[in-house]
Amino acid sequence: MDSVVDTIDTPPIARICGEPLLEIPQDLYIPPDALEVFLDTFQGPLDLLLYLIRKHNLNILDIPMAELTQQYMSYVAMMRADQLELAAEYLLMTALLIEIKSRMLLPSPKTETEPEHDPRAELVRRLLEYEQMKKAAIELTELPQAGRDFNIIQLWFDQQSTEQLPNVHIDDLHHAWIGILTRAKVNRHHQIKRESLSVRAFMSKILRDLRNRHQVEFQDLFSPAATVSEVVVTFLALLELAKELLVEISQSHAFGIIHVRSISST
């Protein structure tokens, strides 16, 4: 350590309160090349002050201001000597420390309104509050942290596999239909006639049957299980299809087999 100190040249490395500082104070010496690292380890003037107080076992409730100020200024001088980029807050703190020190030297002005006030109180409050947060930060860092100490599980799954399709309720259909009718009524463009739904349904059914088979026998259009009304409706549907020229009904001879053929599929 001493050998390193010796390498420092005689010109004062700084002036504190006008007094030249010829060498770095022994008790807080750090190798110059480590200074920057050292400075980085401090989060600011409060951190540095706390370090000094704790290192020298100073009573935080009765800080010897002269001693602390001198220590602190040595550091700041050192940092400036090495032309480290020094946060302005360090210099501001120097001013504050000197102010507190000088106020303590003065006889406290006994005013009627204010009780005796320790000029160090605010500094102590800030130091303690900072220390509290500093320790809280260390504890927070030690808490298990997602991604660092454990991993969160999130399995791959295909959210696209079931595409949501619009839901249609029969009432929606009904409303759509009413909408059409209302518009139609307003426009008076065409007259909508009431038609039997079931005939229309059976027309579709017959066409669907014919689509694949091209031609069927008339009797095959009627399901053996069909009710009377189904038979009638099927027959009506067939007639309607014939009227709309969608099917062709043919009979080669009297009482022969009646063939139903889809015209559309030709």
Partner 1 sequence: MSAPSHPPDPLTTTSSPLSPDTIKQILEAALLTAQEPLPLSELRKLFDQQFNAAMLSALLEDIRRDWNEKSVELVKVASGWRFQTKPEIQPYLDRLTPQRPPRYSRAVMETLAIIAYRQPVTRGDIEEIRGVSVSASVLKTLTARGWIESVGQRNVPGKPALFATTAHFLNDLNLNSLEELPPLEEMKSLIGQDDQNQVLPLEQSHLATVETQSRN
Residue among 59, 58, 46, 47 at smallest CA distance from 93: 46
Tell the smallest beta-carbon distance from residue 23 to partner 1 (Å).
28
Contact pick of 109, 166, 224, 256 for partner 1 (by CB under 8 A) = 166
Asked whether position 192 contacts partner 1 by CB under 8 A, the answer is yes
Note whether 260 and 210 are within 8 A (CB).
Answer: yes
Q: Judged by CB, which is closer to partner 1: 22, or 204?
A: 204
Q: Judged by CB, which is closer to partner 1: 61, or 257?
A: 61
Tell the smallest beta-carbon distance from residue 54 to partner 1 (Å).
9
Query: CA 266 to CA 252: how far, in whole Å?
Result: 20
Residue among 211, 220, 204 at smallest CA distance from 266: 211
Give the rounded distance of the alpha carbon of 14 from its chain centre: 51
Asked whether position 265 contacts partner 1 by CB under 8 A, the answer is yes
Asked whether position 93 contacts partner 1 by CB under 8 A, the answer is yes
Tell the smallest beta-carbon distance from residue 158 to partner 1 (Å).
8
Asked whether position 20 contacts partner 1 by CB under 8 A, the answer is no
Contact pick of 29, 51, 130, 218 for partner 1 (by CB under 8 A) = 130
Q: Render 97-141 in DSSP notation, one character per residue.
A: HHHHHHHHHSPP---SSSPP--TTHHHHHHHHHHHHHHHHHHHHH
Query: CA 68 to CA 74: how far, in whole Å?
Result: 10
Asked whether position 168 contacts partner 1 by CB under 8 A, the answer is yes
Give the rounded distance of the alpha carbon of 57 from its chain centre: 46
Contact pick of 62, 67, 99, 220 for partner 1 (by CB under 8 A) = 62
CA of 37: how far to CAs of 44, 153, 182, in Å?
A: 13, 39, 83
Query: Rule CB under 8 A: which of 172-191 touch partner 1?
Result: 172-185, 187, 189-191
Tell the smallest beta-carbon distance from residue 120 to partner 1 (Å).
6
Contact pick of 105, 114, 171, 243 for partner 1 (by CB under 8 A) = 171
Q: Judged by CB, which is closer to partner 1: 24, or 202?
A: 202
Asked whether position 146 contacts partner 1 by CB under 8 A, the answer is yes
| Beta pairing class for 247-251 and 215-217 | unpaired
Contact pick of 159, 225, 254, 256 for partner 1 (by CB under 8 A) = 159
Asked whether position 104 contacts partner 1 by CB under 8 A, the answer is no
Query: CA 90 to CA 72: how far, in whole Å?
Result: 9
Query: Rule CB under 8 A: which of 70-89 touch partner 1?
Result: 87, 89
Contact pick of 1, 229, 255, 256 for partner 1 (by CB under 8 A) = 229
Query: CA 247 to CA 265: how far, in whole Å?
Result: 9
